[in-house]
Amino acid sequence: MIDVEVFGEGAVEGGPGRDELARLCCLAAASLGVADGHVAVEFVDTARITALNTEHRGKPEPTDVLSFPIDGAGEPAVPDGVPRELGDIVICAQHTSDISEAVLHGMLHLLGMDHEVDSGEMLALQRNLIAEARG
């Protein structure tokens, strides 16, 4: 089971609720064969996303979504039934046109995909997942 915690959700008026965010994370995980793990999704303001983007990517500008993997999708499950810590997804709603797509994008990064180095596989999967999510 993918356990999803959501922080700062009040920043997203009219956006997907906690259950929908969890469904999107589970959809992305299942697409890559990951059935267990914990992920945190946090909504932040422009100042916070800019600070994180500057610190972790060397880009002093706001962005829509950042992902911070911890254990990684390929790591074995932790003993005693404790789920592996997949990582954190940080989203700035003010710089995101589609929260659902940002969640899927961030989750795919946590699961090891990287559109900056692949041959289009991540973004193609993302498009398929968003279409599936919207039914």
Give the pLDDT confidence score for residue 130 in this predicted structure.
Answer: 96
Give the tens place of pLDDT for each residue, 8-64.
865 566 678 889 999 999 999 999 998 889 999 999 999 999 999 999 999 999 999
pLDDT at 124 over 60: yes
Say which range, 13-17, 54-58, 68-72, 77-81, has the weakest mean pLDDT.
77-81
Q: Which domains does the chain have, with CATH numbers?
A: 2-134 (3.40.390.30)
The 3-state secondary structure of 15-81 reads CCCHHHHHHHHHHHHHHCCCCCEEEEEEEECHHHHHHHHHHHHCCCCCCCEEEEECCCCCCCCCCCC
The predicted model gives 66-83 an average pLDDT of: 70
Instruction: Please give the structure tokens belonging to residue 41.
Output: 């999704």
Q: What is the rounded CA–CA span in Å between residue 1 and residue 23?
A: 11
Q: Looking at residue 63, what is its pLDDT? A: 96
Instruction: Please tell me whether the overall predicted TM-score, pTM, comes out greater than 0.85 for this model.
Output: yes
